[in-house]
Structure 1
Amino acid sequence: MQVFLIRHTRPQLAAGICYGQLDVACEDPLPVARQLRVQIPCDTPIFCSPLKRARVLAEALGKPYGVTPCIDARLSEISFGAWEGKPWEDIDRAALDMWAADVLHFVPPGGESVAQLRARVIAFAETLRLPRVAIVAHAGVMKTLCGYWQKLPSEAWSQLEFSFGGLVEITV
């Protein structure tokens, strides 16, 4: 399977804010969509997160070709719960230290763990039975998918970086 993993454009949010599943606006997706379209075959099915910053880019990618993105909640970014919308520097230091001590299993108040994110993203990945697909999502989702498909240990996939509006092509 040929997979085009695409990260949403930059959120319109002050630097240093924890945003996870906070549904924030993003930079104009049209210039990014125009650049990405030439790299993706026009009949490629598109899946995306329901969060606005991913959905608007997915819609902009598909619209000229009559491709409507399939929205899947399993592609949402990790939920940081009560931390969302707060500057990272205002989040309780002891809680951040507990998270750093067990990144995979720590659950922020009202949020989800990386292990929970990983479980739902892998559940999505295991349903794909297409020769080619584009997925417009978030860094956490993209890290998880790359780690899963490339069989990377958590220490490796958690360190992957993806630029806003960037595309990574992998073969599964």
Structure 2
Amino acid sequence: MRLHLIRHPKPLIEAGICYGRHDCPAEDTASAAAMLLAELPAGLPLWSSPLRRCRDLAELLHPQPVIDNRLAEMNFGAWEARRWNDIPRVELDAWAADIAGYAPPGGESPRQLQRRALDFVASLDVPEAVIVTHAGVIRTLLAHWQGLPPERWTELNFAYGSCTRVDVPR
């Protein structure tokens, strides 16, 4: 199965804010959509995260995007919409010590995010699809398919509004 994994455009949020599930719009979705439409194959089914920064783009790319909660960004719980500098250092250190397994208070771990994203992909029954989602979702999926250990997950970076193509074995 071929997947076109699209990261949403840059969020309209102040720099330095933890914004995983925080529902904010994105910058210039129309320009991102025009660029992506020029490179995507026509007529593919499209799924999107429910968060506005993805959903707004998805609606410009497809007349009937399917919204799926499993494509939402990581739930940062008590860290959501807080400045990274205001998050207790001990919590950030605990996350750094267990990058895949640590869950912020009231949130989810990257490993939990990965499980729900993989569950979503396993539910697809199409030869090719477009998915509008977040860096965390794309990162954990590619890390799984590439067999990367958690300490290397942060090496996978994706530009805002970019499309990463991947062939997923069935």
Aligned to 1:32: 32
1:4-83, aligned counterparts within 5 Å?
Answer: 4-63=4-63, 68-83=64-79
Segments of structure 2 that go 5 or more residues without pairing to the other structure are: none
Kept in 1: contact 2:21–2:75 (CA 8 A): yes
Query: After TM superposition, where is structure 1 displaced by more than 4 Å over at least 4 residues in a row?
Result: none
- Percent identity (aligned): 47
Kept in 1: contact 2:73–2:137 (CA 8 A): yes
1:1-172, aligned counterparts within 5 Å?
Answer: 1-63=1-63, 68-172=64-168
TM-score normalised to the size of structure 2? 0.94
Say how many residue pairs are matched.
168
Distance 1:170 1:80 in 2: 27
TM-superposition CA deviations, 1:65-87 (whole Å, max 9, x none) = xxx11111000000101111111
Distance 1:7 1:61 in 2: 13
Kept in 2: contact 1:144–1:158 (CA 8 A): no
CA positional deviation for 1:131: 1.0
CA positional deviation for 1:28: 2.1
Kept in 1: contact 2:110–2:140 (CA 8 A): no
| Structure 1 residues 129 and 153: alpha-carbon distance in aligned structure 2, compared to 1, 3 A threshold | farther
Segments of structure 1 that go 5 or more residues without pairing to the other structure are: none
RMSD over equivalenced CA pairs, Å: 1.2
Distance 1:25 1:40 in 2: 23
